[in-house]
Structure 1
Amino acid sequence: MKLTIRKQKNITRFFRKASFIGIVIGMIFVLVASNEITHHQFARTAQPLNVCSITGSSPCIDTSKETTSKPFIPNPELNGKQRFLSAVSQKLPTIPQPGTYEYTLLRTYGAVFVNQDVGIKLPPKNILVNEHETQEFQSTLTMVHVDNTNDCYLQKSAADALNKAQVKQHIPLKSGYGSGDCTRTFNTNLRFWQKYANNQTLAKVQQGKETKILGLVAPPGTSQHLWGLAIDLRVGSKEQRKALNQNGWFQTVENDVPHWTYVGLTEDNLPLFGFKKQAIRGIIYWITPL
C-alpha cells in the first residue's frame, strides 16, 4: 500500500513537471512566433530610403520610381498609328479626337509624348493656356545647363543627352548664344508667333485650314520649347546629326530645319513607336503617323 502511494506521488510530480515544461515551451513558442510575425510584417511594410543630394537650387529628385519603372513597348501587331497612340496614352490622360486643334498639335509636336526616359516630365495636356500655367509647370522641372552656352537650359535628361553629343561634335545653337533657342517662356513663344503669324492665322490653324505655319513657328502655349525638351541648333554635317541621333535627339517637326526634339529613343526603335522616316530636301525627319 505504501509503495502504491509513493508511486502515485511520483507520477503526480512527473506530470506536474511535464505540465510546467509544456507551459514554458508553449511560452517560448509564442514569443518566437510573435517575433517572427513582427519581422515579416516589417519586411513587408518597410520601404527603402531614397538618398539624394541637393546641389544649388535644384530640387531633390525621388529616384525610387525610376529604378522600378519599366519602359512601355508598343504591340508590334498594331499599325503605326495605333502603336504611336498607345505610347502617347501612357503620358496623356486624354487622347485628342481627330479633327480637333489638339489633335493637329499632337500630330505636329507630339513626338515627345512617346519618350520613355523616366527622368523627364511632361505636361498633362499639349496646350498651356498662359504664362502663369507655363511657369507653374516649369517650376516642377529639374533643369540643367547645356555645355558651351551662356544661358541655355533643358530638362536634365535632355541636357545630359545633348552634352554627351557635344563631347563627340561641337554643335552650336541656332542663334549662337541665346536662351530663346532652348527652354522658352509662354511670352517668348507668343512673341515668336506674332513675328510670323497673327490671330487670323491662329483661327485657321484651330479650324484645321492651315498647317504649314506649324513647321515655322508653334502657336502660343504649344511649343516643345515650353517643356524643356527642344532646342534650335545649327547642324551642318552628318557627324553632328549622328552624334545627336545616338543620344535620342531627332528632327520631328517637318520643315523646321533648326528644331531638334529629345525623343529619348534609339533610331532603330522609332519605327516601333510608329514614327515615319521622311527625307525632305536632304534632311531626315521622323514624323508622327497621325
Structure 2
Amino acid sequence: MKLTISKKININRAIRKASFIMIIILMIFVLVASNEITRHKVAITTQPLNRCLNTNSLPCTDISKKTTSEPFIPDAKLNAQQRFLSAIARKLPTIPQPGTYEYTLLRTYGAVFVNQDVGIKLPQQDIFDNEKETQDFQATLTMGHVDATNDCYLQKSAADALNKARVQQQIPLKSGYGSGDCTRTFNTNLRFWHKYANEQVLAKVKQGKETKILGLVAPPGTSQHLLGLAIDLRVGSKEQRKALNQNGWFQTVENDTPHWTYVGLSEENLSLFGFNKQVIRGITYWITPL
C-alpha cells in the first residue's frame, strides 16, 4: 500500500524525534559514566586505606581505583600515612602488610613510589630476587647520561633533572666519576651489602630486629640504585642542596648522607604526599610516614 506524502512526513518526523531522544539518552549515559570513572580515579577515602592497614592477611591490594598516567593530588583530609599510601598505590599493585620485611623496605626506600613524573618507570615489587629479574626490569628503562661523568646513567627524567641542578651548582659524585654511584646491578648491590653486613644481619632485618643498617647499605635486591632513581653525591653547601631540591632530588634515607633520591616533586608538595621532614645533624631528610 502506497503512503501519502502527509504520512511519509509524519513518519520521518517520528524517526527524527526518536533519534533525537536516543542521542540525548546516550549523552546522559556517557556523562554519568564519565563522572563515575573520574570520581573513582580521584576519590581516595580513609575506609579502604584503614581496612588495608588493619587487615591481618596479605596481599593488601584494595586501596584505590588507581591510574598511573595522570597527575595525582592526595586528599588533604587524610592523615600523612594515608596520603602516602594513596599515592604509592597508583604505582605499586600490592602494599605490604605492616610488620613484614617488605613493609620495612617500603618504609626505608619507598619514597620513589610516590614519584609523579610520567617519564619514569617503577617495578611491580620493592624487592628483586636475582640479577636476571633486575636486568629484565632495567632493560625496559629509558636511560639518560649524567653530564661530565664517564659511565653514570639514570632513568632519563632523573638524569635530566640532575643535569639541570648541576648546571646551577657544581655537584660532584661521591666517587668523583663512577657508575657505582648511579644505576647499579643486582650483583653490585650484593657486593656493597657484603662489604658492610652479612647473612646474619639480613636475617635480623627480615625479622624486624635490625633497621639501622638500612641507613648505611640496602639489602640485596632492594636498593633505589637498581631503579635508576638514586645517586650518591658529595654535597656540602646550602646552594647545592637548593639546586637539587628545586629539581626534584631529596635525601630520603635517614643517615645515608651521600644518598639522593629522585622523587620528582617540589619541596612544597612533599608534606602533601605524606613525607615527614627531619633535620639530623644539620641535614634535612624527607622520611616516609610508615
- Please report the TM-score for the alignment, with normalisation by the length of structure 1: 0.77
| Offset, 1:278 | 0.2
Task: Tell me the equivalent position of 2:108.
Answer: 108
1:277 equivalent to 2:277? Answer yes
Equivalent residue for 1:215?
215
2:148 alignment partner in structure 1: 148
Deviation at 1:190, TM superposition (A): 0.1
Matches within 5 A, 1:231-250: 231-250=231-250
Q: In structure 2, what residue type is equivalent to 1:246?
A: Q
2: distance between equivalents of 1:235 and 1:187? 27
1:94 paired residue number:
94
* Aligned mates of 1:201, 1:222 — CA distance in 2: 15
Q: Which one-letter code corresponds to 2:251 in the other structure?
A: Q
* Cα distance between partner residues in 2 of 1:188 and 1:276: 30
Q: Following the alignment from structure 2 to structure 1, what is the Cα–Cα distance between the partners of residues 198 and 249? A: 30
**Aligned residue runs from structure 1 range 45-84, under 5 A:** 69-84=69-84
Q: Which residue of 1 aligns with 2:23?
A: none
CA distance in 1, matches of 2:232, 2:162: 12
Report the residue type matching 2:234 in the other structure: R
Structure 2 Cα separation of the partners of residues 72 and 206 of structure 1:
32
Q: Which residue is equivalent to 2:121?
A: 121
Letter paired with 2:241: R
Q: Determine the C-alpha separation between the residues in 2 that align with 1:112 and 1:210.
A: 22
Tell me how far apart the structure 1 counterparts of residues 166 and 98 of structure 2 sit (CA, whole Å): 39
* 1:81-121 CA distance string (max 9 Å, x none): 01001101000000000000000000000000000000000
1:272 alignment partner, SS class: coil
* Aligned-residue offset at 1:70: 2.3
Q: How does 1:110-259 map to 2 (within 5 A)?
A: 110-259=110-259
Quick one: which amino acid aligns to residue 179 of structure 1? S
| 2:267 counterpart letter in structure 1 | E
The equivalent residue for 1:47 is none
> How many Å apart are 1:148 and its aligned residue?
1.1
Gaps of 5+ in 2: 13-67
User: Over alpha carbons, which structure has the higher Rg?
Assistant: 1
Determine the C-alpha separation between the residues in 2 that align with 1:129 and 1:81: 28
1:258 and 1:185 map into 2 onto residues whose CA distance is 19
User: CA offsets per residue over residues 121-151 of structure 1, 9 Å max, x none?
Assistant: 0000000000000000000000010011110
Identity %: 84
AA of the residue aligned to 2:108: T
Distance 2:167 2:173 in 1: 15
Counterpart-to-counterpart distance in 2, 1:109 and 1:196: 18
Deviations 1:21-57 (A, max 9, x none): x9xxx9xxxxxxxxxxxxxxxxxxxxxxxxxxxxxxx
Matched letter for residue 249 of structure 1: W
| 1:244 to partner: Cα distance | 0.0
Q: How many residues align?
A: 234
Structure-2 separation of matches of 1:124 and 1:72: 19
Cα distance in 2 between the residues matched to 1:247 and 1:274 = 19
Which structure 1 segments of 5+ residues have no match? 1-18, 27-67
Alpha-carbon distance between aligned partners in 2 of 1:77 and 1:238, rounded to the nearest angstrom: 33
Tell me which stretches of 4 or more aligned residues in structure 1 moved more than 4 Å: none
1:69 deviation in Å?
Answer: 3.6
Shift of residue 232, structure 1, vs aligned partner: 0.1
**Matches of 1:225 and 1:191, distance apart in 2:** 13
Q: 1:72 deviation in Å?
A: 1.1
Q: Does 1:268 align with 2:268?
A: yes
Return the alpha-carbon distance in structure 2 between the equivalents of residues 158 and 120 of structure 1.
8
Rounded Cα–Cα distance in structure 1 between residues aligned with 2:87 and 2:170: 33
Give the Cα–Cα distance (whole angstroms) in 1 for the partners of residues 249 and 204 of structure 2. Answer: 31
Distance in structure 1 (CA, Å) of the matches to 2:69 and 2:156: 18
Normalising by structure 2, we get a TM-score of 0.77
